[in-house]
Amino acid sequence: MSYTEVPGIRVPIRMWTDPATVEGQAMQQLRNISSLPWLHGLAVMPDVHLGKGATVGSVIAMKGAVCPAAVGVDIGCGMSAVKTSLTAKDLPDDLSRLRSKIEQAIPVGRGLHTDPVDPRKLHGFQTAGWDDFWQRFDGVASEVKWRRERAMQQMGTLGSGNHFCELCIDETGSVWLMLHSGSRNIGKELAEHHMDVARSLPHNQGLVDRDLAVFIADTPQMAAYRQDLFWAQEYAKHNRAVMMALFQNVVRREFAKAKVTFDEVISCHHNYVAEESYDGVDLLVTRKGAIRAGNGDYGIIPGSMGTGSYIVRGLGNKAAFNSASHGAGRKMSRNAAKKRFTTNDLVEQTKGVECRKDSGVVDEIPGAYKSIEKVIEQQKDLVEVVAHLKQVVCVKG
pLDDT in tens, 129-153: 999 999 999 999 888 989 999 999 9
> Do the annotations mark residue 302 as ligand-binding?
yes
Provide the sign of the torsion angle of the four alpha carbons 268, 271, 273, 278, taken in this order: positive
pLDDT tens profile 197-218: 999 999 999 999 989 999 999 9
Give the pLDDT mean for 328-343.
95
Given this model, what pLDDT does residue 224 score?
A: 97
> Do the annotations mark residue 309 as ligand-binding?
yes
Q: Please say whether the structural domain 77-267+293-331+369-396 has been given the CATH code 1.10.10.60.
A: no
pLDDT tens profile 146-186: 999 999 999 999 999 999 999 999 999 999 999 999 999 99
For residue 1, pLDDT beyond 60: no
- Percentage of the chain with pLDDT > 90? 95
Given this model, what pLDDT does residue 91 score?
A: 98
Given this model, what pLDDT does residue 2 score?
A: 84
Given this model, what pLDDT does residue 217 score?
A: 97
Q: Is 326 a catalytic residue?
A: yes
Contact status, residue 45 vs residue 379, Cβ threshold 8 Å: yes
Per annotation, catalytic residue among 113, 203, 326, 388:
326
> Do the annotations mark residue 322 as ligand-binding?
no
Given this model, what pLDDT does residue 52 score?
A: 83
Given this model, what pLDDT does residue 53 score?
A: 77
Question: Can you spell out the DSSP letters for 5-44?
Answer: EE--SSS-EEESS-GGGS-HHHHHHHHHHHT-TTEEEEEE
pTM of the model: 0.96
For residue 378, pLDDT beyond 80: yes
- Closest to 29 measured CA to CA, from 74, 65, 69: 69
pLDDT tens profile 224-233: 999 999 999 9
Contact status, residue 396 vs residue 163, Cβ threshold 8 Å: yes
> Do the annotations mark residue 129 as ligand-binding?
no
